[in-house]
Structures are given as structure tokens and as C-alpha cells.
Amino acid sequence: MEWNQETLQSLSQCFLNTLSPSPVPRRQAEAFLSSASEQPNYGLAVLRLVAEPTVDDQIRQAAAVNFKNHLRLWWAPSPADTTRILDPEKDQIKSLIVPLMLSSSPRIQSQLSEALAVISKHDFPQSWPNLLPDLVSNLQKASASSDYTSINGILGTANSIFKKFRYQYKTNDLLLDLKYCLDNFAKPLLDIFLKTAQLIDVAAGPGGAAEALRPLFESQRLCCRLFYSLNFQELPEFFEDHMTEWMTEFQKYLTSSYPALESSGPDGLTLVDELRSAVCENITLYMEKNEEEFQGYLNKFATAVWSLLGEVAQSPSRDRLAITAIKFLTTVSTSVHHTLFAGDGVIQQICQTIVIPNVRLREEDEELFEMNYVEFIRRDMEGSDLDTRRRIACELFKGIAANYKAQVTSILSAQIQNLLSSFATNPDANWKDKDCAIYLVVSLATKRAAGGSASATTDLIDVERFFNTVIVPELQSQSIKEFPMLKAGALKFFTMFRNHIPKGVALGLFPDLVRFLSSESNVVHSYAASCIEKLLLVKDEGGRVRYTSADISSVLLPLMNNLFAALRFPESEENQYVMKCIMRVLGVADISQGVAAPSIAGLTSILNEVCKNPKNPVFNHYLFESVAVLVRRASERDPSLISTFEASLFPSLEMILANDVTEFFSYAFQLLAQLVELNRPPIPASYMPVFTILLSPDLWNRSSNVPALVRLLQAFLQKAPHELNREERLSLVLGIFSRLVASPSTEEQGFYVLNTVIESLDYGVIATYMVNIWHALFTRLHKKRTVKFLKSLLIFMSLFLVKHGSVHLVDSMNAVQAGIFIMILEQIWIPSLKLITGSIELKLTAVASTKLLCECPVLLDATAAQRWGKMLDSIVILLSRPEEDRVEEEPEVPDLAENVGYTAAFVSLYNAGKKEEDPLKEVRDPKEFLVASLARLSALSPGKYPQIIAETLDAANQNALFQFCNSYNCPLV
């Protein structure tokens, strides 16, 4: 791509269009960029556009994002013919990006900084030796002139490069890189840190201005993050030698206040707190990994953090600091220095000044509860609360309990009682105390798995009593509007401890759960749905489900009603918890006409709605699962319902295909396959248009569609083989097969198609196509012979043989070219047999090989004894050795075709699923089949086969064969 005015224009326009709200120009622009990105120097051109000051800022931003993504996809070395960014372009990009990043606006800077991190992931340090020296010399220059814009840009860049030291495994390569970074950067880092510290001391004094302090605090924060990265793997010598210098400043930031900055608007305090958090993370790291070297500083830091927390606990919006500070104390509590907590009253004090204040609901929590229920639930229920102060405060208690269990338990139990009695005296004013009590119990209980059978445990309370006295009153409360957060807490408790609640008690509460589905609060109806859904999964000892269809039949109608009604609440239109509950109920309940009809109507209308703009993949998945389970279970009970379902679903499915809603294709095909399978032949004419769609090659090009398409094709072939044979459809299907099999990336799908055809149709129907089929296979074999292909070919030939007989197999192959069967047998079949994996595949190929061995003239011929022996040798290897001894893993070839041109991935629908069919149900044991066949064969000409075996089989294999013969009592004569 040439860099000129024209490129600048067209790229600018394109990036502008990618931001367009209307889909047509947006998609066009995306398509253009996608094809332009294949040209050399595309990345460079986009980067130059980013650098162009005359271009509108939002275009440059979009370009910066695109540049970063382009690098992410293509910077890493790839096979030669797919390289998009050549070395000269890489060199230019590398020389441009640092100064550009340092001089650009914050938003672009962050994109370029990420791009730089992508480059350094592959190139730094070996292939980018001047990056770090450049950064250091720029840093020193900027430092000399106290240019903090540049300083912070450089520190930010170094930060993104060094981040890898925080999560990669400690390998020699990583340590070499780290050593290089330390040698170059440890000292400059300390220098700038100390210089900035001095400037802060000066500027923080009387008369210091907030504006002067801002960049300095940002700079110190970055230095702390760099400290974290460089110290993560192990304690470097330089940092050990200069520990006091670092720790002195660290301590200062935790204990000093900076009124000028802290009072200059909310972000002033945030800036200071961010530095303090970064300090907390650093000392936590030292505490955890280098506690011996750090212990001299420990007491002072513990005191500092503690008093800081006392201050922070009182004020809102300092979450991050509260969390990192509490984490430090948690680390201390589980370390060898836990005795810091052993003093009289220390734990009690921690409970009162740190744990309880942080667990109590704050305004932000209430806001989140009302404004963003999805996020609230993620944090509250689904373990994404690792970074909330409520949760972290509980973690601290768990940490202390590791060494002081009895004390923690008694203090907490008392505390919980206090909170509950405070609630009892004045529920309206003190409802948050009860919430706090429930939260403590739930969070300090041991985490339970979704569907497991073990019990949640807690030593804090007697679960059943707590449930009856504290939770049940909330659940039975007549007003579902009152204190929604308390209701949510009660529902969460019920869900968490569901295994502990006796069945009778739980069933008694089912109507209440159904009632809460109609709460206007999104969290409450989501939790009610989730509670019902999880209850239906509870299993008793021995794996029997606790709640069956009979248990819910009395509430079924209002339950389904309320579930669908819940989906009409604002913000809950795509509520995944409700949809999952619908799926679960439909999977358990007894589905009568009265339930099926409104359910399918409700589900299709939702389906039609989400087709317009698929947003929430989880919701959509459960939606399709719900449809599938409804169709399956209702039709099993009442086959007459199938036509009802067809009538309801067809318009939606057609819409999906007609409007190209690619996200739903694989779901649609699976549902169609399910419907086809449920039908009794003849298949209604309404399916024929679908068949046409099935034959469009474009669909097959998207590999995410293929498994579902194969499934649909199988369904058609099995239920309507004759339809297939009309109007050249079969040749179209086989055309798809030849296309797919020609390329290694789709060959597997090609064989699925072919195997389905071969398995479902009579030989008479396919005979005329066989020459073409073999031709396609042999051409591919000639062009590119991969192990995967050889295995697939062998499986296909075996399937052909067991379905249509060895005579057809040999004759149809030889019809392509005389004598080719023997060639394939010797060069492909016999040597590749031992590579077969998978039990169905193993049985199939072993049985087919045995049949060839015992009935095929090519092998039985007197002159073919050698060949016969080799074949048997291979079969014995296949049957006697474990997979891992036979098969050498083929190094995986990166599948580039897979990454191009589609974004959807195949997601299997459990409820529309189909078990893998064994084409050879009549054969139980392939070993037995082998020796029985051999015994019959050898009985025809006694003495002949034992001799061949002795002459041609490998000794170990002879031995294995005789063992088979013995164990099945089939001697060879």
C-alpha cells in the first residue's frame, strides 16, 4: 500500500464509515479494510494516518484501534506464504511508534502503547535491541528538563513491555529477558522515582499547587507498577540493595496526606489513592515472596496500612485502595508473621473497624443494584466479586481464621447476632444490618459448585435455624417491593444453601419463589429464577434428583407465566437467568398441551425479536436450548405436536437464513435436524426449501456451520433418502464433498458428508457416483498426504466395506484405474491402520480389515501370503497395543483458513443432540471377531495360516495373536 494523499483519503473515509450507525456503509468499510489489510505496508499506512495531525481525532482513534488489532493478528511470525507484515515494514513501524506514542493524545497513546506491547511480546528484547536504551535515554533527557508528559509516556510504555514478567512462567528465557531489563532499567527507575519523590516533598509543602502534583503522582504510580513487574519473579539484587530507598518512600505515601491534591476535586484523591494502592500491591508482593528480607519493614507497614484503612473504611469511592490494603493484611495474616494478629482484642478490632464497615452496603452498591443488575449479580453471585471490598473484607477474615479459627468464629457469631438484633429493634432503619449479617454468612461459607452434591458448610451458624428464623420471614413477606436488597440476599442464601434445606420446607416456599419472579427489581426476579433453576438440579445421595415433575406440577402454570412475564420487565428482555430457568423447567416438568402451546408461542416471539440484533450469546444459547428441549420432550409425549412446532418455528428459522443471521445458523440447522428426525417419513414438503439451502456451497465454507449442516444432512438422508436422489441433489451433495475434501482445513467435514451418504444410501443409488468419489479422493491423496487424511480415508473405506461389501469396494476402486486397490492396500491401508484412534473408529477399521483378510481374493491368493501376513500384523498391532504406543502425534498445523471470514463458532445444543452412532452394532468385540474369522478361515486349509503367521508376523505380534486365540478359545489350525 502506497502512502499518498489518495490512500490517506480513502482510509480516512473508511475509518469514518466504520463508526457509522447504519449497517451498510459500516459493513462495506469493514470489508474494504479487511481486504486492504492483506496488502504489504497496510499497517504502516494506518500508523501514518494515526500520525496525521490534520485528520479528525475520532478517525485517528479508530485507525489506532485498527492498527493495534492488525498487529495483534499479524505481527507474530507465520508461515511464509501468509506473512502480511514484512521485515522492512516492521522496522519502519518500530522506528515510528515510540516517538509517535509519546507525542499523541491520551486515547491514541493507550492504543499505541498496547500495539507496542504486542510488538515487544514477539520482538523484545532480541529483535528490538535499541528500544530499551532509547527509552532510557529519552527518560534521562525528559528527567533533566522535568518534562513529566514524556516521562510518564515512557514509564507507561515500559510498564506495558514489562507486564509479561507478572504472569509468565519462570523460564531461563524469561529470566534472561528480565536480567536484561533490570540491567538497563533498574537504576534509571530508582533515579526517576527518587527525583519525583523529592519534587513531591517540595510541592506538597505549603503553597504547593495541585496541578504541579498531578503528573508527579501519576509518575510515581507508574514507577510502582514497574517495581511490581520487575520484582514479580524474584527479588533482584539491585532492588534488594536499594530496598530502604524504595520502602522509605512507599511508607511516606501511605502515611502522609497531600491536602492540596486530595482536596482538588474527586480525581485528586483518586490519584493519590492509586499511588497508595500500587504501593500496597508492592508490599503485598514482598510480604508474600520475600518476607525474610522484608520483615524489617513489616511492623511499620502493618501499622500504616491499618490506620489508613480506618480512614478509608469511612468514606465511599476509595474501593481500590481499600481492597489492596486489606489484601496486604490478608497476606500478613496467612504468613509466618501472623502473630501480629494474636494480640488481645486485635481480631475484634479488625472485625469492627475493617471487616464490618467494608461489608456494609454503601450507596454505590444500592445504585448498582438498581441501575446495573447484570453487573451487580456478576459480583454478588458469580464470583466476579474478587475485587469488591465486601468480598475482600471477608477474605481477610478467612485468612485470619486459618490460624485463629476459634476466635474468629466466636467474634463473628456474636457480631451476626448483634446485627440481627439491631435489625429486629427497627427494621426500617436498620435493614442494612440484616443484609450485612446475611452477606457475612454467605461469603464466609465454603463456596459450593453449581451442580455438585456436597454440602456447603459454615461453622458460623446453624444453617437450618438461620434459614427458618432469618431467611424464611423475608421470603414469605407479603410485600415483594419492600427492601428488595434484603429479598435478594434471602434468595441468594436459599440458593447457596439449597442442599441443606429439607425438601418439604423448600417445596412450601416454591409459590413464594414464583411470586418473586414478578418483582420489578431485576436482581430479585433474576435471583428467584436462579434459585428455582438451581433447586431443580439438586441431587440427593446416590445421584437421584430431589425435585421431580410431580413436585412442581401444581405451580407449573403460574411459574411459566411469571417467567415469560419477567422477560417483559425493562432491562430483563434478555435476562439469561430467567431464560435458563425456562430451559430447566421445560426439562423437568411434565409438558402438557396447555404448557407446550403458550411456551412455543412465547419462545418464538422472543426468537423473532433477538434475530433482529443478537446481543447476549448466553441468553440466546439458553433460548435455543429451551426450544430444543421443549420440542423434544413435548413431541415424545405427543407426536401430533410436531406439526404445531413446525408451524411456529419455520418462519423464524427461515428468517434467520434469509436475513443472514449468521450467529444463529448452527442453532437453526440443529433445530431443523431435530425436527426432521422427529418426523415419520414422508417428510413434509415444507422441508424441501431447506434442503435447497443445505446444498448451497457457501454455507459449507464457514467451518462453524459444518457440524450442524452435517447433522442436518444426516437427518435428511436417514429420513428422506429418496428425496435426495431427485433433481440431481445427490450430485450436488457430492460436489460439496469434493470441495471440502480438497483442502486439509476442511477435509474432515468433507468426510462427514461422504460417510453420511455412504452409510444411508443403497449401493444401487451411489454406484454411478463412485468413480467421481474415488477420483476426488485419489487426487487429494496425490496432492497432499496428511496423516489426518490417511486416517479419514481408511475409515471411509472401512465404512464402505462393512456397508456394501468388499467386492463393491475393490471393483469400484479398480474401475478408476486397474490394480489401484492393491496399491492402496499396500501403501495406505496396511501401514496406516495402526494410526487409528477412537473406539468406534478402531472397531470399524479392525472389522473391515478382518473381512478383507478373510474374504478378499487379493489377499487370499496363494501368491499373496506375504501381503496377507502384513495385513494381519497391522491388525494385531491395532488391537493389541494401547493408542499411545502406536500413534505419533502429528504436529498441529496452524489452520489459517479457520480464522478468516467468520466470527461465529459452532455451539452444540445439548437438547437437540444426537449420540454418535456405531455403524457396527452387531459386532461386540473386534478382537473376538478377528480370531473367530481367522479360525473359520484356517479350518478351510489346515496348516496354511499358522505357517504364514510364523513367517511374516513380528514375534511380539504373534504372541499377542495367540493370546487372543487363547482367551477367546478360537485356536488356529
Partner 1 sequence: MADENSPHRRDPIKSSVGNVAAQRRRQSAISVGKERRESLVRAKRFCRVSVSGGGGDDGDISLDHEMVIDEEDSILEAQTSSAVQELQTAVAFQGKGAMQKRVNALRELRRLLSRSEYPPVEAALKAGAIPLLVQCLSFGSPDEQLLEVAWCLTNIAAGKPEETRALSPALPLLIAHIGEKSSLPVAEQCAWALGNVAGEGEELRNILLSQGALLPLARMMLPNKGSTVRTAAWALSNLIKGPEQKAATELIRIEGVLDAIVRHLKKADEELATEVAWVVVYLSALSNVATSMLVKSDVVQLLVERLASSNSLQLLIPVLRSLGNLVAGDSRTTCSLLVPGHEITDSVITVLVKCLKSEHRVLKKEAAWVLSNIAAGSVEHKQSIFSSEALPLLLRLLSSSPFDIRKEVAYALGNICVGPAEGDGRPKLIVEHLVSLVKNGCLSGFVELIRSADTEAARLGLQFIELVLRGMPNGEGPKLVEQEDGIDAMEMYQFHENEDLRNMANGLVDKYFGEDYGLEESSS
| Alpha helices by DSSP H, 517-592 | 522-535, 549-552, 556-566, 576-588
Mark 883-912 with x for binding to partner 1 (rule: CB under 8 A) and - for no binding.
-xx-----------------xxx-x--xx-
Shortest reach from residue 18's CB to partner 1, in Å? 18
What is the smallest separation between the CB atom of 234 and partner 1, expressed in angstroms?
Answer: 5
Contact 32, 43 (CB under 8 A): no
Residues recorded for the chain: 973
Note whether 838 binds partner 1 by CB under 8 A: no
Exactly one of 511, 598, 614, 735 binds partner 1 (CB under 8 A); which one?
614
Nearer to partner 1 by Cβ, of 59 and 116: the residue is 116
- Rounded least distance, CB 334 to partner 1, Å: 7
CA nearest neighbour of 630 among 649, 610, 616? 649
> Are 91 and 129 in contact, with CB atoms under 8 Å apart?
no
Please identify, using beta-carbon distances, which residue of 285 and 627 lies nearer to partner 1. Answer: 285
Q: How far apart are CA 214 and CA 238, in angstroms?
A: 29
Q: Residue 465, interface with partner 1 (CB under 8 A)?
A: no
663 vs 349, 614, 668, CA distance in Å?
55, 7, 10
The residue among 304, 298, 422 whose CA lies nearest residue 356 is 422
Let me know if 4 is exposed, middle or buried by CB neighbors in 10 A (0-12, 13-18, 19+): exposed
Q: How far apart are the first and last CA of the chain?
A: 76
CB 410 → partner 1: shortest distance, Å?
21
d(CA 250, CA 325): 13
Contact residue for partner 1 among 256, 339, 457, 692 (CB under 8 A): 457
Phi/psi for 871 (5° steps) reads -60, -45
Interface characters, 96-135, with partner 1 (x: CB under 8 A): ----------------------------------------
What is the Cα–Cα distance from 777 to 771, expressed in whole angstroms?
10
Instruction: Count helices and strands (H / E) in the chain.
Output: 55, 0
805 binds partner 1 (CB under 8 A): no
Binding residue for partner 1, selected from 202, 429, 601, 618, defined by CB under 8 A: 618
Q: Which of residues 165 and 700 has its CB atom nearest to partner 1 in the complex?
A: 165
Using the rule CB under 8 A, give the single segment among 140-148, 235-243, 250-258, 512-520 that binds partner 1: 235-243
Decide: is 406 part of the binding site for partner 1 (CB under 8 A): no
Taking alpha carbons only, the member of 870, 860, 863 closest to residue 954 is: 870
> Considering only residues 259-298, where is the footprint of partner 1 by CB under 8 A?
284-285, 288-289, 291-292
Q: Which are the contacts of 635, defined by CB distance < 8 A and separation ≥ 6?
A: 641, 642, 645, 678
Smallest separation (angstroms) from partner 1 to the CB of 28: 22
Residue type, 371: M
Q: Which three cell numbers stand for residue 84?
A: 502480511
Which of residues 235, 321, 332, 844 is near partner 1 by CB under 8 A? 235
Closest CA to 66 of 13, 25, 30, 23: 30
Residue 93 or 444 having the CB closest to partner 1? 444
Q: Which of residues 663-722 bind partner 1 (CB under 8 A)?
A: 663-664
The residue (of 664 and 929) whose beta carbon lies closer to partner 1 is 664
83 near partner 1 (CB under 8 A): no
Query: Applying CB under 8 A, which of residues 23, 77, 145, 167 lies at the interface with partner 1?
Result: 167
Question: What is the Cα–Cα distance from 778 to 828, expressed in whole angstroms?
Answer: 11
- Within 638-746, where are the H helices? 641-658, 665-678, 688-694, 697-701, 706-719, 721-724, 729-741
Question: Residue 545 forms beta bridges with which residues?
Answer: 539
Residue 932 C-beta: closest distance to partner 1, Å: 30
Per CB under 8 A, 81 contacts partner 1? no
Site track 531-570 with partner 1 (rule: CB under 8 A), x = hit: -----xx-----xxx--xx---------------------
x/- string (CB under 8 A) for partner 1, residues 476-505? ------------------------------
Helices 787-804 & 806-816 angle (0-180, nearest 10): 130
Handedness of CA 727, 731, 735, 741 (dihedral sign): positive
Count of CA atoms in the C-beta half-sphere (13 A) of 713: 33
**Least CB distance to partner 1 at residue 163 (A):** 8
- Smallest distance from the beta carbon of 446 to partner 1, in angstroms? 5
Q: Give the number of other CB atoms < 10 A from CB of residue 769.
A: 17
Count of residues interacting with partner 1 (CB under 8 A): 70
Asked if residues 109 and 116 have their Cβ atoms less than 8 Å apart, the reply is no
Examine residue 236 and tell whether it contacts partner 1 (CB under 8 A): yes
Q: Which long-range contacts (CB under 8 A, 24 or more apart) does 380-389 make?
A: 380/488, 380/492, 380/523, 381/492, 381/495, 381/527, 381/530, 383/447, 387/323, 388/319, 388/323, 389/319, 389/322, 389/323, 389/326, 389/358
Count CB neighbours of 895 within 10 A: 12
Applying CB under 8 A, the span of 306-314, 383-391, 470-478, 737-745 interacting with partner 1 comes to 383-391
Task: Output 568 or 915, the one with its CB closest to partner 1.
Answer: 915
Q: How far is the CB of 290 from partner 1 (least distance, A)?
A: 9
- CA–CA dist 503, 260 (Å, integer): 61
Whether 358 and 313 have beta carbons less than 8 Å apart is answered as yes
Distance CA 256, CA 254 (A): 6
Per CB under 8 A, the list member of 24, 80, 406, 450 interacting with partner 1 is 450
Q: How far is the CB of 968 from partner 1 (least distance, A)?
A: 26
Interface residue with partner 1, options 115, 117, 178, 709 (CB under 8 A): 178
The answer to whether the CB of 934 falls within 8 A of the CB of 854 is yes
Please tell me whether residue 383 binds partner 1 under the rule CB under 8 A. Answer: yes
Would you count residue 386 as binding partner 1 (CB under 8 A)? yes
| Type of residue at 810 | V
Please answer whether residues 281 and 228 qualify as being in contact, where contact means their C-beta atoms are separated by less than 8 angstroms.
Answer: yes
**Per CB under 8 A, 175 contacts partner 1:** yes
| Contact between 862 and partner 1 per CB under 8 A | no
Q: Which is nearer to partner 1, 207 or 882 (CB)?
A: 882
Closest to 109 (Cα-Cα) out of 218, 228, 262: 218
Q: Are 114 and 64 a contacting pair, CB within 8 Å? A: no
Rounded CA-CA distance 646/451 in Å is: 33
Cα distance between residue 901 and residue 701, in whole Å = 9
**Rounded least distance, CB 168 to partner 1, Å:** 7
Is 414 a binding residue for partner 1 by CB under 8 A? The answer is: no
Using DSSP, state whether 445 is helix, strand or coil: coil
Q: Which stretch binds partner 1 (CB under 8 A): 378-386, 517-525, 751-759, 837-845?
A: 378-386
Stretch that binds partner 1, among 162-170, 714-722, 779-787, 845-853 (CB under 8 A): 162-170
Give 144 or 449: the residue with its C-beta nearer to partner 1. Answer: 449
Stretch that binds partner 1, among 28-36, 175-183, 256-264, 921-929 (CB under 8 A): 175-183
Q: Which is nearer to partner 1, 184 or 725 (CB)?
A: 184
Closer to partner 1 by Cβ: residue 239 or 737: 239
Binding site for partner 1 (CB under 8 A): 163, 166-170, 172, 175-176, 178-179, 182, 232-237, 240-241, 284-285, 288-289, 291-292, 334-336, 383-384, 386, 398, 446-454, 457, 536-537, 543-545, 548-549, 587-588, 614, 617-618, 620-621, 629, 633, 663-664, 882, 884-885, 903-905, 907, 910-911
